[in-house]
């Protein structure tokens, strides 16, 4: 059951490569489909516009707010055309270091205006058991600030991928009154198969918030393979929508009143001592 304040949201699942134009066309088709399904918000995954080598990332990095920059202009056009908020879940935005752009979430309202941006705080530097070695900090400047934004009568807390492993960030977002948490991602298969579902449900349960997670899926340049399984989880930890393998989208109606009811019936957020 959903109340009058419910809003339909869409999480898009992509298989982005290193061709910006082709990636943006794939995004455009799915955003249009989200709009046709009545979504007020469409969340794109991390690396939606470019998924390739660091040299390519800083070559396509854009100045934040540049209305003529190809990626941001495309997102604004998609938002206006489909009359919904489009949230690009992670793209290269210029920093003071031209070879280490931010990995930034950018949100464009239904009028095409930039309404929020968040710079990924936690960077993925690991050597996995399957032989994959990733050093995100080598080509990315980290952000510092937790960000919330009001969109479509929802208060969104913003994060990107590896942030999911740091619950203190989500505590900060909830303290800023977020009741919907966004997790655009490009989780590896190796970590995703064991941790993706568990972490998303844990963040929803402990935060008593909706979680919307849009994921990359399949094979990408440089031998990367991502897990997929885009997901929408309710504040009780129930998965209300999940994508299978492949490119596509999931939709669900999310109701902030349900968050309020869960928080009232089990007031764990009020019981914190530390």
For residue range 6-33, what is the model confidence (pLDDT) as tens digits? 999 999 999 999 999 999 999 999 999 9
CATH of the domain at 135: 3.60.110.10
Tell me, what's the pLDDT at 49?
98
102-129 burial, b for 16+ CB within 10 Å, e for fewer? bbbbbbbbbebebbbbbbbbbbbeeeee
E strand or H helix that includes residue 102: strand 102-108
Indicate whether 63 belongs to any domain. yes
Q: Where residue 128 falls among pLDDT bands split at 50, 70, 90?
A: confident
Q: Where residue 3 falls among pLDDT bands split at 50, 70, 90?
A: confident
Q: Indicate the number of domains in the chain.
A: 1
Tell me, what's the pLDDT at 244?
96
Q: Which of 89, 116, 117 is nearest to 10 (CA)?
A: 89
Q: Where residue 238 falls among pLDDT bands split at 50, 70, 90?
A: very high
Q: Where residue 132 falls among pLDDT bands split at 50, 70, 90?
A: confident
Q: For the residues 194-200, what does the mean pLDDT come to?
A: 98
Tell me, what's the pLDDT at 126?
85
Alpha-carbon distance of 73 to 128, in angstroms, equals 36
Alpha-carbon distance of 21 to 161, in angstroms, equals 23
Indicate whether 230 belongs to any domain. yes
Indicate whether 92 belongs to any domain. yes
Q: How many angstroms separate the Cα of 137 from the Cα of each of 51, 142, 227? A: 16, 7, 22
Instruction: Check pLDDT > 90 for residue 171.
Output: yes
Catalytic residues: 46, 120, 161
Q: For the residues 160-172, what does the mean pLDDT come to?
A: 98
Q: Which domain holds residue 217?
A: 7-266
Indicate whether 2 belongs to any domain. no
Instruction: Check pLDDT > 60 for residue 233.
Output: yes
SS3 breakdown of the chain: % helix, strand, coil, rounded to 5?
Answer: 35, 30, 40
Neighbours of 56 (CB within 10 A): 17
Tell me, what's the pLDDT at 54?
85
Alpha-carbon distance of 122 to 125, in angstroms, equals 9
Instruction: Check pLDDT > 60 for residue 190.
Output: yes
E strand or H helix that includes residue 125: strand 125-127
Q: For the residues 97-112, what does the mean pLDDT come to?
A: 97
Indicate whether 273 belongs to any domain. no
Alpha-carbon distance of 153 to 5, in angstroms, equals 8
Indicate whether 180 belongs to any domain. yes
Query: What are residue 248's DSSP bridge partners?
Result: 13
Tell me, what's the pLDDT at 5?
83
Global confidence as pTM: 0.96
> Cα(first)–Cα(last) distance of the chain, in Å?
35
Query: What are residue 185's DSSP bridge partners?
Result: 215
Instruction: Check pLDDT > 70 for residue 60.
Output: yes
Q: Where residue 131 falls among pLDDT bands split at 50, 70, 90?
A: confident
């Amino acid at each position: 059951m959903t109340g009058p304040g419910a809003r339909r949201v869409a999480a898009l699942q992509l298989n982005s490569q290193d061709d910006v134009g082709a990636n943006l066309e794939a995004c455009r088709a799915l955003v249009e489909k989200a709009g046709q399904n009545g979504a007020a918000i469409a969340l794109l995954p991390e690396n939606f516009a470019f998924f390739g080598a660091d040299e390519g990332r800083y070559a396509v990095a854009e100045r934040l707010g540049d209305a003529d920059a190809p990626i941001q202009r495309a997102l604004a056009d998609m938002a206006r055309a489909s009359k919904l908020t489009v949230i690009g879940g992670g793209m290269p935005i210029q920093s003071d270091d031209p070879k280490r752009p931010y990995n930034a979430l950018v949100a464009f309202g239904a009028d095409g205006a930039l309404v929020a941006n968040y710079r990924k705080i936690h960077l993925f530097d690991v050597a996995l058991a399957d032989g994959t070695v990733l050093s995100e900090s080598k080509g990315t400047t980290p952000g510092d600030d937790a960000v919330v934004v009001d969109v479509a009568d929802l208060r969104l807390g913003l994060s990107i991928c590896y942030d999911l492993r740091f619950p203190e960030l989500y505590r900060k977002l909830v303290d800023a009154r977020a009741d919907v948490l966004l997790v655009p991602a490009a989780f590896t298969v190796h970590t995703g198969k064991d941790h993706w579902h568990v972490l998303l449900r844990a963040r929803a349960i402990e935060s008593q918030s909706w979680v919307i997670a849009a994921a990359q899926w399949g094979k990408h340049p440089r031998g990367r393979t991502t897990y997929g399984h885009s997901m929408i989880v309710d504040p009780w930890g129930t998965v209300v929508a999940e994508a299978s393998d492949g490119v596509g989208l999931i939709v669900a109606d999310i109701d902030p009143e349900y968050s309020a009811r869960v928080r009232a019936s089990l007031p764990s957020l009020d019981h914190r001592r530390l």
